[in-house]
């Protein structure tokens, strides 16, 4: 796979090296030559110095034949524009933009881009580490808008229905497993101890769900 990484700061350099290690053809673009010093000494991909919005620079990086592009500079507007151009002008099939400042996330959303907010994601993960260890967030989207929590059904819920034990807050039951096997997402199935329920709460109900999960694990 031919991947272009736009921006060679610490994040871009790490991403480029990870992709290179996995056997991909990687080209890194940055407008400052000294930025390439961030690359791992064993990195053997290509580097292109120049203004990333310059068509000649993009063509030298091979954008016309690229399979993926990651715009990971510390400028949200630049990331959004580069990703938009890659997707709509050059039809790069896999495009991801870094969201550096959460306040600029609407820019990425306006372009309909896949984005990863390291700031939002990192803050959420640190917050979760400060809470009770029994509460298990098991997955989060890169932009922090979707979280998945795990609830292991306790013995006292045996025989009760899913709709009887879950809290009255906005959520979606994403998956329900029993003895390692997926179960139908039906609220009328009597629960067994050890069943695992995966819940995705609405953003405004995350704290309420977290408190409820903590109370259930302690009860």
Are 80 and 70 within 8 A, CB to CB? Answer: no
Handedness of CA 45, 51, 56, 59 (dihedral sign): positive
Integer distance in angstroms from the first to the last C-alpha of the chain? 51
pLDDT tens for the chain, residues 1 to 219: 999 999 999 999 999 999 999 999 999 999 999 999 999 999 999 999 999 999 999 999 999 999 999 999 999 999 999 999 999 999 999 999 999 888 888 887 888 888 888 787 777 767 766 655 445 677 777 666 778 888 888 888 889 887 787 777 788 888 888 888 888 876 678 889 888 888 888 877 777 777 776 676 666
14 and 112 in one domain?
yes
Looking at residue 141, which CATH number applies to its domain? 3.30.70.1450
153 and 109 in one domain?
no
pLDDT of residue 169: 77
pLDDT of residue 118: 79
Name the one residue in this structure whose structure tokens are 């990331």: 79
Domain span at 198: 128-218
144 and 111 in one domain?
no
């Amino acid at each position: 796979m031919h991947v272009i990484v736009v921006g060679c700061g610490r994040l871009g350099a790490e991403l480029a090296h990870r992709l290179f290690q996995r056997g991909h053809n990687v080209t890194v673009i940055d407008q400052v030559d000294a930025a390439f010093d961030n690359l791992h000494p064993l990195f053997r991909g290509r580097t292109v110095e120049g203004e990333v919005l310059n068509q000649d620079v993009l063509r030298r990086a091979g954008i016309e034949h690229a399979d993926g592009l990651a715009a990971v500079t510390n400028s949200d507007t630049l990331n959004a524009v580069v990703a938009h151009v890659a997707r709509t002008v050059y039809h790069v099939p896999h495009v991801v933009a870094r969201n550096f400042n959460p306040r600029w996330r609407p820019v990425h959303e306006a372009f309909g881009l896949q984005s990863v907010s390291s700031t939002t994601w990192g803050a959420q993960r640190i917050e979760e580490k400060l809470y009770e260890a029994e509460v298990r967030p098991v997955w989060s989207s890169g932009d922090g808008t979707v979280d998945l929590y795990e609830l292991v059904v306790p013995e006292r819920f045996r025989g009760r229905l899913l709709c009887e034990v879950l809290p009255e807050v906005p959520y979606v039951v994403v998956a329900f497993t029993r003895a390692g096997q997926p179960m139908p997402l039906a609220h009328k199935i009597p629960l067994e101890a050890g069943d695992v329920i995966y819940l995705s709460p609405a953003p405004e109900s995350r704290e309420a769900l977290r408190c409820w999960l903590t109370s259930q694990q302690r009860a």
